Structures are given as structure tokens and as C-alpha cells.
Amino acid sequence: MGSQNDLIDRVVELVESGEMSGGEAKAALGHLLLDAGGQRRLQSRATWYRDRSVCRRHGLVLADVDEDEVQIDLADVIGEALEADCWGVG
């Protein structure tokens, strides 16, 4: 799973290693982008399921995130949780 750029890099790796054909790569990337954009109707049912199968076989999933990376510092939150009186109770 990853952003569009991560996904493209992974597909290139799969093609270069011989694990995926160029045709499968195009079908998988097209499928994921069309599906993410809500355009499932642009493919026949059989094509949609075939392309989804290719994606699943290779573990390809387009993350539902913005292209801008976000970093969150959870140290304070985790620290407070670990120090709470109820931690480990139950």
C-alpha cells in the first residue's frame, strides 16, 4: 500500500524482476486509479475483477491519503497513556 509514487515504484520493481508483465502493470495501475476516482463503470465487470485479482496477487493497494506526507509526533500522547493510572488495568 502506498501513495501513487510508491505504487509506481513497486510496480516497476515487479516488472523488472519478471513477477509482473507490462500489460499487468498497466492494467493494475489503471484499475487502482479508476477505482480510487470512483470510475468503476469505465471497465466491464469481467475486466474490473481480473484487474483487481492482479492487484491482490501482488499486494497492490493505493493508499487513501493526500500526496503531502504528514508526520505526527506521538511521543507525548504515548507517554501520557503509559503513565495513566488505568494503564494495564482490566
Under 8 Å between Cβ of 26 and 5? no
CA dihedral of 37, 4, 48, 36, whole degrees rounded to 10: -20
Residue showing cell 493505493:
62
Please, what is the angle between helix 22-36 and helix 45-57, to 10°? 110
Tell me phi and psi for residue 15, to 5 degrees: -70, -45
Q: Which three cell numbers stand for residue 74?
A: 506521538
pTM of the model: 0.62
State pLDDT tens for residues 4-44.
888 899 999 999 999 999 999 999 999 988 888 888 788 88
